[in-house]
Amino acid sequence: MPVLLVERFASHAPSQLSDECGIINCAEDADEAMSLLQQETYELVLIGMTSSPEDGFDLIRRLQASGNETPVLALMGSAPDEELDGVDMLADPIDPDELRTRVTSILRRGRETAQPILWLGELSLCLLTREAQSRETPLALSANEFAMLELLVRRKGPVLTKATFLNHMYGEAAAPEARIVDVLMHKLRAKLEQAGAGQLVSVVWGHGYMIRELGSLPPRLNDTVTINSYGLVA
């Protein structure tokens, strides 16, 4: 999973923290950060506070109010007016070595407590070995195919756009054309079909892809669905 960097610090952090963080996504303000957090699962939210402390504190309050449990590391230019429980903080000026140590510690702590296996019906994904199986049948997935399936399982229900998949797989790095999502999804669905889970992933033409448990599907629902004018699956 990627790390979300917010505000001015985001333009400097990738070169310092890429080894520790892996994929890094960036947001300029609280509104953009909240939008990204609704589309993607992150290991850490890193907030640079020196340019706009009020916006940083607002993001923390909104995260807490929404019940989002993503770890937060705030780079403090000034102290907040109220207590912000569960938020790691570093005082300004920031020591790069201390920052790397703190980020590494938070990521390690999160990975150690993370659920090692994701389940969706008879489909299971082991996050440690990056292996998946359906009905005890192993799925020979590429790294990108596993990443797409993981994202679908974590966010089952809503329709995920091609941009969401590209952001999940490549982050801020230069991504290939959006059609690569269709190519990878075609291969993924074929492998699921071979394992007896062909109805799990549905195509929503003009919008993207979605996943639901087989038990929640209508008995004769085709694996291709459409969205009506009210934004609902028809």
Per-residue pLDDT of 157-173, as tens digits, reads 889 999 889 888 887 66
Task: Determine the distance from the C-alpha atom of residue 194 to the mean position of all C-alpha atoms in its chain, rounded to a whole number.
Answer: 27
- CB of 188 within 8 A of CB of 201? yes
- CB of 125 within 8 A of CB of 145? no
The secondary element (H helix, E strand) that includes residue 49 is none
| Bridge partner list, 120 | 123
- CB of 53 within 8 A of CB of 82? no
Per-residue pLDDT of 186-214, as tens digits, reads 999 999 999 988 788 999 988 899 987 65
Match 């957090």 to its residue by tokens.
37
Question: Would you say the pTM of this structure is higher than 0.85?
Answer: no
Give me the CATH code for the 117-225 domain, please.
1.10.10.10
Both tokens assigned to 61: 């309050």
Domain coordinates in residue numbering, the chain: 3-113, 117-225
Fold of 3-113: Rossmann fold (3.40.50)
- CB of 214 within 8 A of CB of 197? yes
- CB-based contacts of 185, cutoff 8 Å, min separation 6: 148, 201, 203, 209
Tell me the average pLDDT across 47-59: 73
Q: What is the pLDDT of residue 84?
A: 64
- CB of 43 within 8 A of CB of 2? yes
Cα distance between residue 153 and residue 201, in whole Å:
10
- Mean pLDDT (the chain, rounded): 77
Q: Which runs of E-coded beta strand occur in 12-130?
A: 24-27, 44-48, 72-76, 87-91, 117-120, 123-126
